[in-house]
């Protein structure tokens, strides 16, 4: 097996000044990027901290006790996040996902949820408001999050076998506590719940069938995610990727599946429903999903933008640079720039999105090796999945 080399890099990547267009670009709800893709989904990272050290995301070799996290003053306040979210919604965003790091480590997160839950689309509809978590704190937080207006959660869970799970989270955290968090979320109505399993060949792929068996008929949708080349710290290698087609094949050998249509344009997961005795999808048995960002790129209809905890806007999960929105919110006295108005921020966001042409996954195979060099792409631990 090839030696695993983890480079030391700037985890946050370069930042560009957000443009300040001379002419206003008012929100219309129909903003399109350079490839004709609308802006519909905003993922907001609320912290760069996590209490797990999964080797595909925050390996201990990099994120050790000497790692410097962002100071609290560098993070966007809940009011700043809500202000930006309101402007994104005016441009067409319909779904907001809170992520991290581990978002439940952000103190008082339910107050942010309450503010975001109060937002409405231009036609008066509530947002689809969800959160991704490792589940470690979910049992104690589920009720407060639901009461604040959170609609549903996605829980990361890479194995049911306790020994495998403890090795993967690398902090000896027991799987039973994550399962307790799932039960608590179901009990308070944070659903439909999704569980995400990152599959690494020869690491946890033996857990595919046990996971499928466990969640079949549970009301929880299990999704298998191909191990991705996000950032530069996880030592990613193509030979550790198990293609989603093989995941489906393994499950089909025991649990019959029927392919389902997408729920929405831009959906990342390919859907497969558990079949009943008649060979048709039985809704009571639920479904699984596979996310194939390595072997089957879905850039063509990607409608997602990502906002970091310190106010940097990224247009792709594999982006190499972000745009500084915090300087618009707070002003940039070093460059003689005062605080921007909502109209000015809306124009800046429109200009950024209109110039977007990102489609890294579609181009991955054709890119030279240097394109994936250390420091060129944002880390998943910083911007969330």
Alpha-carbon distance 180 to 326, whole Å? 37
pLDDT at 333 > cutoff 90? no
4: number of CA atoms within 13 Å, CB side? 13
CATH number at residue 62: 3.20.20.70
Q: Is residue 1 part of a domain?
A: no
Please give the pLDDT value at position 239: 81
Question: How do residues 38-52 score in pLDDT, each as one tens digit?
Answer: 999 999 999 999 999
> Tokens 């195979």 identify what position?
365
Answer whether 359's CB lies under 8 Å from 297's CB. yes
Q: Of 296, 303, 295, 293, which is closest to residue 356 (Cα–Cα)?
A: 303
Between 330 and 235, residue with greater pLDDT:
330
Instruction: Give the β-pairing of 128-133 and 152-156.
Output: parallel
pLDDT at 375 > cutoff 50? no
Q: Is residue 8 part of a domain?
A: no
Please give the pLDDT value at position 319: 82
- Rounded to 5°, the CA angle 243-200-374 comes to 100
Q: Of 52, 53, 30, which is closest to residue 40 (Cα–Cα)?
A: 30
pLDDT at 125 > cutoff 80? yes
Confidence of residue 369 (pLDDT cuts 50, 70, 90): very low
Please give the pLDDT value at position 203: 92
pLDDT at 270 > cutoff 50? yes
- What are the phi and psi torsion angles at 158 (to 5°)? -100, 0
- What are the phi and psi torsion angles at 382 (to 5°)? -90, -35
Question: How do residues 53-81 score in pLDDT, each as one tens digit?
Answer: 988 888 888 888 888 899 999 999 999 99
Q: Is residue 2 part of a domain?
A: no
Alpha-carbon distance 314 to 323, whole Å? 7
- What are the phi and psi torsion angles at 304 (to 5°)? -110, 140
- What are the phi and psi torsion angles at 116 (to 5°)? -70, -35
Between 213 and 336, residue with greater pLDDT:
213
- Rounded to 5°, the CA angle 268-272-276 comes to 160
The pair of three-digit structure tokens given for residue 22, joined into one six-digit string:
């001379």
Minimum mean pLDDT range among 16-20, 103-107, 172-176, 270-274: 16-20
Alpha-carbon distance 241 to 129, whole Å? 31
Confidence of residue 10 (pLDDT cuts 50, 70, 90): very low
DSSP code at position 309: T
Answer whether 354's CB lies under 8 Å from 27's CB. no
H/E element, 138: helix 138-148
Question: How do residues 283-322 score in pLDDT, each as one tens digit?
Answer: 999 999 999 878 877 788 899 999 999 999 999 887 878 9
Please give the pLDDT value at position 321: 87
Q: Is residue 9 part of a domain?
A: no
- What are the phi and psi torsion angles at 235 (to 5°)? 60, 35
pLDDT at 365 > cutoff 50? yes
> Tokens 């005795």 identify what position?
277
Between 231 and 171, residue with greater pLDDT:
171
Q: Is residue 297 part of a domain?
A: yes
Minimum mean pLDDT range among 188-197, 232-241, 254-263, 360-369: 360-369
Q: Is residue 6 part of a domain?
A: no
Reduced to 3 states (helix: H, G, I; strand: E, B; else coil), residue 222 is: strand
Question: How do residues 173-183 score in pLDDT, each as one tens digit?
Answer: 999 999 999 99
Please give the pLDDT value at position 9: 41
Q: Which residues contact 277 (CB under 8 A, 6 or more apart)?
A: none
Q: Is residue 4 part of a domain?
A: no
Number of domains in the chain: 1
Q: Rg (Cα) of the chain, in Å, rounded?
A: 20
The pair of three-digit structure tokens given for residue 32, joined into one six-digit string:
């399109």
Q: Is residue 231 part of a domain?
A: yes
> Tokens 């901290």 identify what position?
49
Answer whether 313's CB lies under 8 Å from 345's CB. no
pTM: predicted TM-score of the whole model, two decimal places: 0.89
Alpha-carbon distance 329 to 176, whole Å? 42
Q: Within 10 A of 120 (CB to CB), how many other CB atoms are there?
A: 12
Q: Which residues contact 81 (CB under 8 A, 6 or more apart)?
A: 44, 46, 112, 115, 116, 307
Q: Of 317, 384, 313, which is closest to residue 351 (Cα–Cα)?
A: 313
Q: Give the mean pLDDT of 195-214.
A: 96
The residue range of the domain holding 366 is 15-383
H/E element, 132: strand 128-133
pLDDT at 347 > cutoff 80? yes
Alpha-carbon distance 231 to 379, whole Å? 4
Q: Give the DSSP per-residue string, 80-122.
A: HHHHHHHHHHHTT--EEEEESS-GGGSTTHHHHHHHHHT-B-T
Please give the pLDDT value at position 248: 97
Please give the pLDDT value at position 346: 98
């Amino acid at each position: 097996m090839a030696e695993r080399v983890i480079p030391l890099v700037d985890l946050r990547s370069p930042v560009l000044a957000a443009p300040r267009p001379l002419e206003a670009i008012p929100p219309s709800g129909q903003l399109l990027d350079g490839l004709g893709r609308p802006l519909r989904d905003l993922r907001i990272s609320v912290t760069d901290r996590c209490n797990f050290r999964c080797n595909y995301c925050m390996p201990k070799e990099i994120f050790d006790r000497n790692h410097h996290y962002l100071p609290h003053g560098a993070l966007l306040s809940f009011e700043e996040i809500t202000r930006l979210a309101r402007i994104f919604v005016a441009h067409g965003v319909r779904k907001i996902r809170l992520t991290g790091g581990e978002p439940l480590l952000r103190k008082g997160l339910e107050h942010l949820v309450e503010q975001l839950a109060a937002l409405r689309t231009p036609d008066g509809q509530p947002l689809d408001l969800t959160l991704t978590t490792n589940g470690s704190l979910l049992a104690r937080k589920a009720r407060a999050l639901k009461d604040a207006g959170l609609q549903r959660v996605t829980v990361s869970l890479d194995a049911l076998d306790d020994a495998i799970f403890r090795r993967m989270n690398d902090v000896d955290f027991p799987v039973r506590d994550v399962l307790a968090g799932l039960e608590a979320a179901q009990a308070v109505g944070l659903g439909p719940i999704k569980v995400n399993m990152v599959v690494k060949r020869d690491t946890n792929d033996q857990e595919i069938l046990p996971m499928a068996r466990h969640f079949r008929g549970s009301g929880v949708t299990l999704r298998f995610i191909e191990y991705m080349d996000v950032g530069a710290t996880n030592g990613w290698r193509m030979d550790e990727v198990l293609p989603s087609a093989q995941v489906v094949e393994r499950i089909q050998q025991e649990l019959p599946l029927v392919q389902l249509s997408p729920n929405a344009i831009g959906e990342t997961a390919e859907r497969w429903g558990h079949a009943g005795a008649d060979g048709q999808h039985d809704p009571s048995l639920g479904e699984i999903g596979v996310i194939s960002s390595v072997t089957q790129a879905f850039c063509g209809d990607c409608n997602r933008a990502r906002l970091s905890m310190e106010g940097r806007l990224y247009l792709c999960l594999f982006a190499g640079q972000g745009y500084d929105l915090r300087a618009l919110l707070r002003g940039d006295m070093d460059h003689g720039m005062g605080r921007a108005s909502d109209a000015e921020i809306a124009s800046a966001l429109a200009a950024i999105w209109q110039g977007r042409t990102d489609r890294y996954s579609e181009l991955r195979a054709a890119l030279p090796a240097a394109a994936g060099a250390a420091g060129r792409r944002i880390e998943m631990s910083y911007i969330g999945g």
